[in-house]
A = this chain, B = another copy of it.
Amino acid sequence: MSERWKVVIIGGGFGGLSAAQHLNSDLVDVTLIDRRNYHLFQPLLYQVATGSLSPGEIASPLRGILGQQKNTRVWLGTVVDVDTDAKQVFLADGTVVPYDSLIVAAGSQTSYFGRNEWQEWAPGMKSIEEATIIRHKILYAFEVAERISDPEQRRAWLTFVIVGAGPTGVELSGAIAEIARQTLKNDFRSIKPEEAQIILLDGAPRVLMSFPEDLSKKASRSLAQLGVQLKCGAMVKQVGEDGLTIESDSRTDSIAAKTVVWAGGITASPLGKILASRTHTETDKGGRVKVNPDLTIPSQPDIYVIGDLASAMDRKGKPLPGLAQVAMQGGAYAAKAILRRAKGQSEPPPFHYFDKGSLAVIGRAAAVADVFGAHLSGFVAWLVWAFIHLMYLVSFQSRVLVFIQWAIQNLTFSRGARLITGAAPTDFNFSKGISEIKPEPVNAPH
């Protein structure tokens, strides 16, 4: 086994997992390293944040997925550095892992554009822990509003602001609107959940900037129907315990809101910069490593960078977007290239991203889809969305469960995972009309 070509994959997301699965061959030994023991189906993370799904339904242990693949081992660990001369990867615990080929698929993280202190008040949407914190905050806000008497305070607790009107922000705000209007309809006595304000902010002039303009308009209309207030062209200036300050049309406004979610931007994993400096390569302004047309690093034919960490171009010289599809196709490409090399075959043609389209779901049964150039919206688009997502979950046990849970929800509007877990909430002082609850820090274990 030790004589075989050694492939190390950093990251078990869409890119890394796809690469590992395409390396199922006796020619290579594969080691997949991730800080987590599971693969996360990020496109459904907003459903965890809004209590529709449990974490276990959108995440699956990497060992389980790759258990039958005998040439592959999974290691729990954090990669901190790479020695490209000695061809070694270093883990935080001091372990040294040698490679013949390296696939770096370390992904991206939430970016606060230099204002990391906002994270405390506006958690991002990249991990199960963050999604659980957001779920806690949303459900807890309704609980507080139910018991508070001061109308101004109550309004602040019933105001939900989502920063960033990309697919995640659109999906999240639609889901919160549905919780407020439908799911909790009968559950409260003092408040009317439909009084809740859901505000979706973006600096861009329209929602879903990466979509064609007609679909973006349709999405806006669907959001408005659900009761989401759109504020495009608005820049966030400050975020704090009691809400946020925004600037639009050179006017500054304050929004009193106890729940703010940051779906505003991402930046590459710090490993990108480390790798770039070790290999004298450039990164783009998002911290992504500029790669060759075959996804290798210039002058490093044995190192592939794929997915959100790579700054790759399509044939027209346009940068490839940070989508699961791009990462998966990149992983498959890198795997095949490595297998060719292990077989002594020639280099493959450059990587070509096959764009199947984009999708964003808005609420319970509507979506917009740009599929192979066709622009779909409404229920038809939702069906396409549901079909594609369920198909991806094909390798997980959870598929059946997710489907049934969706079906039940669509019939009943109920949400099964509406739990406020974590430390018992700090009790707040209703008699003073002000709250002493502190949201849990984003780094807290969840």
Contacts and interface: CB of A to CB of B under 8 A. Distances in A.
Interface of A: 35-38, 53-57, 59-61, 63-64, 67-68, 73-78, 91-95, 128-129, 132, 139-140, 143, 146-147, 184, 186-190, 396-398, 400-401, 404-405, 408, 412, 414, 416-425, 427-432, 440, 443-446
Nearest to A77: B427
A313 to B, nearest CB: 33
B430 A95 contact: yes
Most buried by B among A93, A418, A443, A446: A93
A37 B444 contact: no
A398 B419 CA distance: 13
B431 A73 contact: no
Given A143-B37, A424-B36, A61 B93 contact: no
Contact of A404 (B64, B67, B400, B416): B400
A94 B427 CA distance: 9
Contacts of A417: 54-56
Contacts of A146: 73, 75
Contact of A446 (B412, B422, B425): B422
A385 B296 CA distance: 57
Nearest to A396: B416
A56 B418 CA distance: 7
How many copies of this chain does one complex carry? Answer: 2
Contact of A73 (B61, B94, B189, B405): B189
Contact of A54 (B56, B422, B424): B56
B420 A75 contact: no
A56 B398 CA distance: 14
Contacts of A75: 146-147
B397 A416 contact: yes
Nearest to A34: B424
B416 A401 contact: yes
Given A91-B427, A400-B408, A423-B444, 16 more contacts: A36-B420, A37-B140, A37-B418, A38-B419, A54-B57, A54-B417, A56-B416, A56-B418, A76-B140, A77-B427, A92-B427, A128-B421, A397-B416, A404-B404, A421-B445, A423-B443
A83 to B, nearest CB: 16
B68 A430 contact: no
A61 B418 contact: yes
A61 B184 CA distance: 11
14 contacts: A54-B417, A55-B421, A57-B416, A68-B186, A73-B189, A78-B427, A93-B431, A94-B430, A94-B432, A128-B419, A398-B416, A401-B405, A421-B446, A423-B444
Contacts of A431: 93-95
Contacts of A60: 416
B419 A143 contact: no
A260 to B, nearest CB: 19
Contacts of A64: 187, 414, 418
Contacts of A132: 421
A32 to B, nearest CB: 12
Contacts of A38: 418-420
Contacts of A187: 61, 63-64, 67, 74
Contacts of A401: 401, 404-405, 416
Contacts of A68: 186
A64 B129 CA distance: 24
Contacts of A404: 400-401, 404
